[in-house]
Amino acid sequence: MAQVGRAIADRVGMLDNAEVMRLVAAAHEGDPDEVRRGVEARMAELTGCLEDGPAGLHYVRAAALRAAGAHRDALAACTLMVAAAEREGSPGWRANALAMRAMLRIVLGDSDPGEHDVDAVLRDLADAEAETEAAEPGDPQVASSAHNLIAIGYFTLRLYELADPHYTTAYEMAARLEPAGPVPVTVQLNLAELHLAWALELYRVGQPEEAEKHSMIAGSHGQLALQLAPADSSYWRNVAGMYVGCARADGDDPAGAAEQIRVHAEPLRSGQYLDWWRFSVPFLAVALARSGRRDEALALVEQVVAELPADIEWYNVAALTHTHAILLSSTGTAELRATLRYGDCLAAALWRQRLQTLHAVRTLRSLQQLRVEHAHISRSADTDALTGVPNRRAFDRELLRRAGGGPGTECTAVLIIDLDKFKPLNDRQGHAAGDRALKAIATALTAETRAGDMLARIGGDEFCVLLTAVDVEGAARIAERMVRCVRELDLTVTVSIGVAAGTAEAVSDTLARADHAMYAAKAAGGDQSHYGQVSTSVRESACMPWASATGP
């Protein structure tokens, strides 16, 4: 199945991963609906069916739907992407799909408590993490994107300890790309935001020393983002400068910190980037209060709290209201101090719950990692290392499965494929050339199979295909296409293919007849297919009425 997906992606000329990421960026920065429509049109053009499109294009579509606020449609798109990644055998794309699906489930759960499913979110994130371990090392863009999405998911759940290493890995991978693009800047900003949010929560639970450490870490990430941001990008430079100012709010120059926050946050506010502005306000208020401007700080916070929209993230609300309570309690009234103590108790309870969730997720991650490793080991044991198609072990097991299915009328066709003139190629050009030819031929043959079929390498230069729900004439048409596609590779190597069909319970007999037909094709000069007499069991079976109509 994975070989079928990979071959389809190759055959239709899928966009490279760099272009996929550019389209995702366009969806976030421009018109997401326009990007989505373009991608859907391309998938329909390439495969004739939206669902069968390549995983990379499904990723663009899901990202565009998410950027447009169509979260439920984006969630469905992620599920299609999971299936596409599995068809293509791509752990990297599957990790992206699972991580984005987790994020969307969080968003939908926040807006509708009836859809809150933290277990599904955590399973998707743990599965995505495990898949990144098996992701293709030559696909840093895909892997970097997956790590970044996983980090965002964990950050949203306040599992800072799990988000941090994924952001770091995403940055390291993206920084090695040429050109690196905007990803390293955005990941550094994500890291700065994470450590600032972590610091805010530590302050709320009475751990100021730990909070200050995270403020310093946030400042270093903000400074690096400033260095990486393009000189002509005022947006990125303002976000980075604002974060650096926020990190300085609890330092030894609060007045300077307040000025730096204002200089960089005000343009963001004017540009309607209000989420950034609101994030900065608690830090700005602290810096103002520590500079002796408590009344100004209090007026600022009260104004922002009064204008909070209903859909703002809860941790922003918590930071703003906690800062408001601290400023009010400085008046010294017992009532205000009691209110603040109550809030501190709630914050401590949430922190304990966070730690319990962190422990549970770490256990789940370990279990999921073992499960995925076992699955990859099992797949490796069933895969031919050179060509990537199933090996003789997997083929024999599939034969037993079909033969043991009991009486049935489903028609199973068998193609036995033997390479012509392969030994002379090895003798003249060496085994490396022979290996390249085998890989190219396996890819070409796979492109002509369908979902549910199996192409396996059963010998040194011999392949076999098990075709499901196709009669001998339909199988012969597939065989002819395989002969042509190998001939067009211009490798000096061609194929001889024997074709036979029979009921599922008689698959061993069908295999023997296909083998005999293959030798007949080879005796006739090769570079052709041959099929023998259809067995009585086939002529009497239900597969005969559609014999002339079956076949892709």
DSSP string covering 11-28: HTTPPPHHHHHHHHHHHH
Query: Going by DSSP bridges, is the β-strand pair 454-457/411-420 parallel, antiparallel, or unpaired?
Result: unpaired
Cβ of 336: how many Cβ atoms within 10 Å?
A: 16
Please tell me the distance from the alpha carbon of residue 502 to that of residue 510, in angstroms, as a whole number: 6
Specify whether the CB–CB gap between 128 and 95 falls below 8 A: yes
- The mean-pLDDT minimum among 174-178, 378-382, 465-469 falls in 378-382
Over residues 178-194, mean pLDDT:
86
Specify whether the CB–CB gap between 59 and 17 falls below 8 A: no
**Which pLDDT does position 398 carry in this prediction?**
87
We find that the CATH architecture of domain 392-539 is 2-Layer Sandwich (3.30)
**Which pLDDT does position 379 carry in this prediction?**
67
pLDDT surpasses 60 at 545: no
DSSP E strand stretches across 254-300: none
Please tell me the distance from the alpha carbon of residue 216 to that of residue 223, in angstroms, as a whole number: 11
N-term to C-term CA, the chain: 17
pLDDT in tens, 309-339: 877 777 778 888 888 888 887 766 777 777 7
**Which pLDDT does position 10 carry in this prediction?**
43
**Which pLDDT does position 540 carry in this prediction?**
38
Over residues 408-424, mean pLDDT:
83
**Which pLDDT does position 276 carry in this prediction?**
87
The percent of the chain in helix, strand and coil, each rounded to the nearest 5, is 70, 5, 20
pLDDT in tens, 63-118: 999 989 899 999 999 999 999 988 887 889 999 999 999 999 998 887 777 777 88
Average confidence score pLDDT of the chain: 84
pTM of the model: 0.69
The segment(s) of the chain belonging to CATH 3.30.70.270 are 392-539
The segment(s) of the chain belonging to CATH 1.25.40 are 182-330
Residue with tokens 């270093």: 220
Please tell me the distance from the alpha carbon of residue 398 to that of residue 388, in angstroms, as a whole number: 17
Dihedral sign for Cα atoms in the order 173, 176, 179, 180 = positive
Specify whether the CB–CB gap between 81 and 131 falls below 8 A: no
**Which pLDDT does position 213 carry in this prediction?**
96
Topology of the domain covering 182-330: 1.25.40
Percentage with pLDDT > 70 across the chain: 89
Please tell me the distance from the alpha carbon of residue 209 to that of residue 388, in angstroms, as a whole number: 54
Q: Which of 149, 147, 130 is CA-nearest to residue 139?
A: 147
pLDDT surpasses 80 at 455: yes
Cβ of 547: how many Cβ atoms within 10 Å?
A: 18
Residue with tokens 């009836």: 114
Specify whether the CB–CB gap between 194 and 219 falls below 8 A: no
Would you give the DSSP letter of residue 390? B
Query: Going by DSSP bridges, is the β-strand pair 494-503/462-468 parallel, antiparallel, or unpaired?
Result: unpaired
